[in-house]
Structure 1
Amino acid sequence: MRPKTSQALTFKVLLVGVFFAFLLLFVLRSSLLSSSKENTSSPTTLRTSNAVKESKNTADCSPSCDKIPRTLAQSLIHYATSSITPQQTLKEISVTAKILEKKSPCNFLVFGLGHDSLMWSSLNYGGRTVFLEEDEAWIEQIRHRFPMLESYHVTYDSKVNQAENLMDVGRGHECMTIADPKHSTCQLALKSLPSEVYETKWDLIMVDAPTGYHEDAPGRMTAIYTAGMIARNKEKDETDVFVHDVNRVVEDTFSMAFLCEGYMKKQEGRLRHFRIPSHKDSLERPFCPE
């Protein structure tokens, strides 16, 4: 989730183009809704409305015009002027953006907080996007710049050098049993996340944290397992889960083991996309599809 320091001009131009397209769709949708309301109005209401329109100065904006929401405008300006680009590539970002295009506004949970967080929140405009971050100082920096983002501090009690042992633990019965991760007896389940995480029905989950790039760093083993368990424990419907940095051993092996290769929909670069169904509506469903 942390930014790369090099500037990618082509990427920035394409990213800005994505935001303009998103904003255009927003305005067109608002215009269509406005037209629909006018068409269903009574003749008297329409005559009154038309009279009001004719009395307005021609320089005024018509009722179908909508201002760009302030948060989207801020996001567009930020990415148009920033020399820092998100760590994910355009192709990787596009995988998640396509799902957001279909599902937003929705509930989107992100493990990690960085300079791409404003983008994810904006692409899920009207929905709820929550970020979980282990570095309190980093949270304060981002909050100072983007106070509209909803973020929470979390702690991880496992390290990358424990991954092999935790993989063995994960194969045990207590970890293969579908349960609310908050009350799970599995060592891999994160039980001290903010209450909002356990109480919300998430449509998308992205694991792009914790750090995980050296042996003593808090690895993503528990985040990946918990994301999969949140998806399986949902009352109904599917959950789209994304894991970044799958070029690394932990992200590769744990995503395949606990999000399941059979649930994987796509891999683009270092990003994998899984679609996990609810297991609560079919208690006999195996942990991973056969």
Structure 2
Amino acid sequence: MKTDTNTKLILLHPPVHKQGNSHRLWLLFFITFFTFAFHLALSTTRDFITPTSTAATSSSTATSTFPLPTSITDALLHYAATANSTTPHMTSAELHSIAAVLRRCSSPCNFLIFGLTHETLLWKALNLHGRTVIVDESAFRVGQLEQSHPDIEAYDVQYTTKVSELSELIDSAREQLRNECRPVQNLLFSECKLGINDLPNHIYELAWDVILVDGPRRYFAAAPGRMSSIFTAGVLARSKRDGGGKTHVFVHEFEREVERKCGDEFLCRENLVESVDILGHFVLEKMEANIYEYCRNPTSSSTLPSSSSSQADD
């Protein structure tokens, strides 16, 4: 028997394509495993850090979204800078009297102020969510205020009265009680000598909750005096729209002759509910259009002492 010397040894090798598939399966397994492990670790870490992170984010959001209102910041800076100022200003008791009324407003207050004074920024801050409007006789001072504090609403007005004309102006108002100087009217169309009729239309349409008469500032024979601002405050309060309601009218320097006599004539002693230092506090109710008397109990004199018309108040 012959042996075939040409017989070849055949070795069987795994197919090359089979090896490639195996490597790919292992690679896919490791990728899947590490991906799962990564997500599991991330989820676990988030459970621990979320409360702190959320709190920090909330705090940051609150700080950036709800900063201290500009009006309050301005007021704090103003009074810090003028703590030792000699500028005339209200006493602590007078400030607290007005602030208490602003706090008691059932809804955001409409606050009208005659006179740009040392307390202007304070009133704006205290009436934070309400509407505060300033009326002053100096266009220059109003312009300065608006430039420094653009969020404050202020208007200048031209007074045509004089302190020396006090008696004649009161007599004229009495003569025109049923016509131009009646207690209930839209002053925008009035020709009453004491009425202020050159302010923007909305001033006569708004229902004012609080009115402060602290201007014009100066007080001498040729100065405009506060006859017009007191008369206008009385008419605005009695002509109040939107269901009526009471209006608090404050008159500063109430011991002086102009403020005392006009207060008695147009705001009425019967409506005086409080007197704090030299601040008179009146509460007026809405009146019907067919009533032509300012006071139910007219009085021609006052128990408060009269002050000299030569007194200066700058």
Partner SS for 1:56:
helix
Q: Which amino acid aligns with 1:122?
A: A
Asked whether the 8 Å contact 2:209–2:247 carries over to 1, the reply is: yes
1:249 CA displacement:
0.5
Q: Which amino acid aligns with 1:118?
A: L
Q: Which runs of 5+ in 2 are unaligned?
A: 1-46, 298-314
Give the Cα–Cα distance (whole angstroms) in 1 for the partners of residues 268 and 202 of structure 2. 26
1:147 CA displacement:
2.7
Asked whether the 8 Å contact 1:220–1:251 carries over to 2, the reply is: yes
Asked whether the 8 Å contact 2:71–2:124 carries over to 1, the reply is: no
Partner of 1:288: 295
Asked whether the 8 Å contact 1:160–1:212 carries over to 2, the reply is: no
The size of the alignment, in residue pairs, is 240
Task: Please provide the CA RMSD for this pair.
Answer: 2.6
- Structure 1 residue corresponding to 2:272, chosen from 264, 271, 287: 264
Partner of 1:134: 137
Query: Residues 147 and 185 from structure 1, CA distance in 2 versus in 1: closer, same or farther, beyond 3 angstroms?
Result: closer
Give the Cα–Cα distance (whole angstroms) in 2 for the partners of residues 268 and 228 of structure 1. 20
TM-score of the superposed pair, with normalisation by structure 2: 0.69
Asked whether the 8 Å contact 2:183–2:291 carries over to 1, the reply is: no
Q: Which runs of 5+ in 1 are unaligned?
A: 1-49
Partner of 1:199: 205
Give the Cα–Cα distance (whole angstroms) in 1 for the partners of residues 93 and 221 of structure 2. 29
Asked whether the 8 Å contact 1:265–1:275 carries over to 2, the reply is: yes
Partner of 1:166: 169
TM-score of the superposed pair, with normalisation by structure 1: 0.75
Partner SS for 2:255:
coil
Partner of 2:36: none
Partner of 1:34: none
Deviations 1:85-121, CA, capped at 9 Å, x for gaps: 6611111111111000111621100011123110000
Q: Which amino acid aligns with 2:199?
A: L
Query: Residues 147 and 115 from structure 1, CA distance in 2 versus in 1: closer, same or farther, beyond 3 angstroms?
Result: farther
Query: Residues 112 and 177 from structure 1, CA distance in 2 versus in 1: closer, same or farther, beyond 3 angstroms?
Result: closer
Partner SS for 1:206:
strand
Asked whether the 8 Å contact 2:113–2:132 carries over to 1, the reply is: yes
- Structure 2 residue corresponding to 1:179, chosen from 180, 185, 189: 185
Q: Which amino acid aligns with 1:70?
A: T
Partner SS for 1:171:
helix
Asked whether the 8 Å contact 1:114–1:142 carries over to 2, the reply is: no
Deviations 1:121-152, CA, capped at 9 Å, x for gaps: 00000111000111112223333333321111
Partner SS for 2:268:
helix
Asked whether the 8 Å contact 1:86–1:116 carries over to 2, the reply is: no
Asked whether the 8 Å contact 2:89–2:117 carries over to 1, the reply is: no
1:265 CA displacement:
0.9
Give the Cα–Cα distance (whole angstroms) in 1 for the partners of residues 48 and 273 of structure 2. 54
1:212 CA displacement:
4.3
Query: Residues 64 and 153 from structure 1, CA distance in 2 versus in 1: closer, same or farther, beyond 3 angstroms?
Result: closer
Deviations 1:29-85, CA, capped at 9 Å, x for gaps: xxxxxxxxxxxxxxxxxxxxx999725265555588754223212322221232436
Identical pairs, percent? 35
Greater Rg by CA: 2
Query: Residues 140 and 169 from structure 1, CA distance in 2 versus in 1: closer, same or farther, beyond 3 angstroms?
Result: same
Give the Cα–Cα distance (whole angstroms) in 1 for the partners of residues 49 and 115 of structure 2. 50
Give the Cα–Cα distance (whole angstroms) in 1 for the partners of residues 215 and 291 of structure 2. 32
